[in-house]
């Protein structure tokens, strides 16, 4: 496979940097071709502003959705954004790697998504009618490709468990899994999470590194999280509400998993 790893940590000597090196080495050993977008090394601009849209006239209001649509359609987005979009077209699999900061991804990685996932590229595509509501949530430009997260968290694993004070890790990552990756069509694999990142001693790192190698060895065999297809009949269109009788007693984010299948 062609694999793009987008890396978001300011220090290459960090635990994240060490885990990235483990992942890349194992992927290459398995015969995969890997590109790494190290956002801090690239000096990635995280904010969406007028500089992202060269064709925008000084007197024009900046409406990001419209500017993104027009810039993408004209092939006139900035060179850094176009380069990352080309990597995504090339990649059979996308890996986002980051430390969990304030319960989500670092701002630089969110800014990568904001700028690279342009209108017409990752969203705003497909037919909108009384039977389809765009190519999204399981469909879209990345349908047939895979994605996953490599995440480090400072808290202990129980802190992110079903009764943990931080909330279940699957719930915390749902906006990324479902809203950023599944939305444009990726099959999203379960995440690789290292807990207690600030307390990891050398022996613990050896165990985590081997666990990560095993995940990298089994990427093609691992089943994606079984999210429901938006246009597969489970949701009413255009209200996009799950139909009555579905959900099997589930609530919240778990409603969007197919019945009888655990993530």
Terminal CA-CA length for the chain: 24
For residue 130, name the pLDDT band (cuts at 50, 70, 90): confident
Q: How far, in Å, CA of 213 to CA of 196, rounded? A: 19
Domain residue spans of the chain: 2-224
Alpha-carbon gap, residue 61 to 65, rounded angstroms: 12
263 has a pLDDT exceeding 80: no
Q: Are strands 2-7 and 146-152 parallel, antiparallel or unpaired?
A: unpaired
Least confident of 18-32, 68-82, 94-108, 249-263: 249-263
Q: How far apart are the C-alpha atoms of 104 and 176, rounded to whole Å?
A: 8
- Residue range 4-57, pLDDT digits in tens: 999 999 999 999 999 999 999 999 999 999 999 999 999 999 999 999 999 999
2-224 — its CATH code?
3.40.50.360
The percentage of the chain sitting over the pLDDT mark of 70, rounded to a whole number, equals 98
| pLDDT exceeds cutoff 90 at 259 | no
């Amino acid at each position: 496979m062609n694999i793009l790893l987008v890396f978001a940590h300011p220090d290459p000597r960090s635990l994240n940097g060490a885990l990235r090196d483990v992942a890349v080495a194992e992927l290459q050993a398995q015969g995969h071709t890997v590109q790494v977008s190290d956002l801090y090394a690239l000096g990635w601009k995280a904010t969406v502003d007028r500089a992202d849209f060269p064709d925008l006239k000084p007197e024009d209001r900046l409406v990001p959705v419209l500017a993104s649509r027009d810039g993408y359609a004209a092939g006139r987005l900035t060179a850094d954004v176009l380069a990352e979009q080309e990597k995504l077209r090339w990649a059979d699999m996308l890996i986002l790697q980051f430390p969990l900061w304030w319960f989500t991804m670092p701002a630089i990685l969110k800014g990568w998504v904001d700028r690279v996932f342009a209108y017409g590229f990752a969203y705003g595509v497909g037919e909108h009618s009384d039977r389809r509501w765009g190519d999204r949530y399981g469909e879209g430009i990345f349908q047939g490709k895979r994605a996953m997260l490599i995440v480090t968290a400072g808290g202990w694993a129980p802190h992110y468990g079903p009764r943990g004070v931080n909330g279940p890790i699957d719930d915390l990552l749902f906006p990324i899994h479902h809203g950023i990756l599944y939305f444009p069509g990726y099959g999203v694999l379960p995440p690789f999470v290292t807990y207690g990142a600030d307390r990891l001693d050398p022996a613990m790192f050896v165990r985590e590194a081997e666990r990560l190698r095993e995940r990298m060895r089994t990427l093609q065999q691992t089943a994606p999280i079984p999210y429901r297809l938006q246009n597969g009949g489970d949701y009413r269109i255009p209200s996009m509400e799950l139909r009555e009788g579905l959900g099997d007693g589930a609530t919240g984010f778990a409603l969007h998993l197919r019945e009888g299948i655990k993530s």
